[in-house]
């Protein structure tokens, strides 16, 4: 009875600490969920193989059973966990607007704005063309020249304003025209990818990426 009470106390304490941690940072919910999944799998495997002999057969059966349970459990656990964390990141994005300085990928952007969620990442800021080329080389972007006026419609300041006002529309202009600059575009088969634009006239970078 004392062992059961101790076990109940330990698990209650773990659940309580997990709920408190999730209050401050919801993604931490992944730790107790995955932890209990692994603990449950270990308990099941230990129960099944405890009477198997010889030892090498027990190890073999335990390994196969562990892999099978991991694959099965992860299919049912990882998908709803991924959906929940994705929803949380989109509902609670990280953003900053008109920042004097913002360090991004090893470069300092001036007068910068950024919007970071699961479904989209937007960054814009001022930097020199030399800094942009260093950034592009490190990122592996395939650059091409912008030789004719190019209109872009997605940028961080407008996204932040729409998020703050909880509306699909913004009183900020969403259309920008770049007449001379550099760009890089990459689109995956699922629709995700990135767009990078550097406007020489304003020495300003515009970046958009999405997983899909």
DSSP letter string, 50-84: TT--SHHHHHHHHHHHHHHHHHHHHHHHHHHHHHH
**pLDDT the model gives residue 25:** 64
Average pLDDT of the chain, as a whole number: 80
- Orientation of helix 30-49 relative to helix 55-91, angle to 10°: 160
pTM beyond cutoff 0.75: no
Give the start-to-end residue ranges of the domains of the chain. Answer: 2-91, 94-210
- State yes or no: pLDDT of 7 exceeds 90: no
75/82 Cα distance (integer angstroms): 11
Distance between CA atoms of 130 and 102, rounded to whole angstroms?
17
Residue 207 CA from chain centroid, whole number: 16
Q: Please give the structure tokens belonging to residue 202.
A: 């304003």
Q: Pick the residue with more confidence: 37 or 148? A: 148
DSSP state of 183: E
The answer to whether residues 125 and 111 touch, using CB atoms and an 8 Å cutoff, is: yes
Closest CA to 173 of 183, 164, 162, 184: 162
Label residues 176-188 b or e (16+ Cβ within 10 Å = b).
bebeebbbbeeee
pLDDT tens readout for residues 120-179: 888 999 999 999 999 999 999 999 999 889 988 767 777 777 766 666 655 555 788 899
Q: 93-107 pLDDT, tens per residue? A: 888 888 999 999 889
> Token digits for 197?
């634009």
Q: Percent of the chain having pLDDT more than 90?
A: 26
pLDDT (mean) for 16-38: 67
The answer to whether the beta carbons of residues 194 and 209 sit under 8 Å apart is: yes
Question: What pLDDT is recorded for position 1?
Answer: 46
Nearest to 179 by CA among 204, 157, 207, 158: 204
pLDDT in the model for residue 26: 58
Which is more confident, 1 or 199? 199
């Amino acid at each position: 009875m004392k062992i059961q009470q101790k076990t109940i106390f330990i698990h209650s304490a773990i659940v309580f600490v997990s709920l408190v941690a999730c209050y401050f940072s919801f993604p931490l919910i992944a730790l107790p969920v995955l932890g209990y999944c692994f603990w449950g799998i270990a308990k099941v495997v230990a129960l099944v193989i405890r009477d198997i002999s010889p030892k090498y057969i027990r190890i073999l059966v335990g390994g196969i059973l562990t892999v099978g349970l991991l694959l099965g459990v992860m299919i049912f656990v990882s998908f709803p966990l991924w959906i929940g964390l994705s929803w949380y990141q989109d509902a609670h994005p990280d953003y900053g607007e008109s920042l004097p300085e913002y360090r991004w990928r090893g470069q300092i952007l001036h007068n910068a704005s950024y919007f970071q969620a699961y479904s989209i990442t937007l960054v814009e800021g001022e930097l020199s063309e030399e800094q942009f080329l260093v950034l592009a080389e490190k990122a592996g972007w395939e650059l091409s020249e912008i030789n004719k006026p190019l209109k872009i419609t997605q940028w961080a300041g407008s996204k932040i304003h729409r998020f703050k006002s909880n509306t699909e529309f913004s009183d900020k202009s969403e259309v920008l025209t770049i007449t001379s600059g550099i760009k890089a575009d990459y689109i995956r088969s699922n629709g995700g990818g990135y767009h990078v634009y550097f406007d020489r006239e304003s020495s300003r970078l515009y970046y958009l990426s999405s997983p899909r």
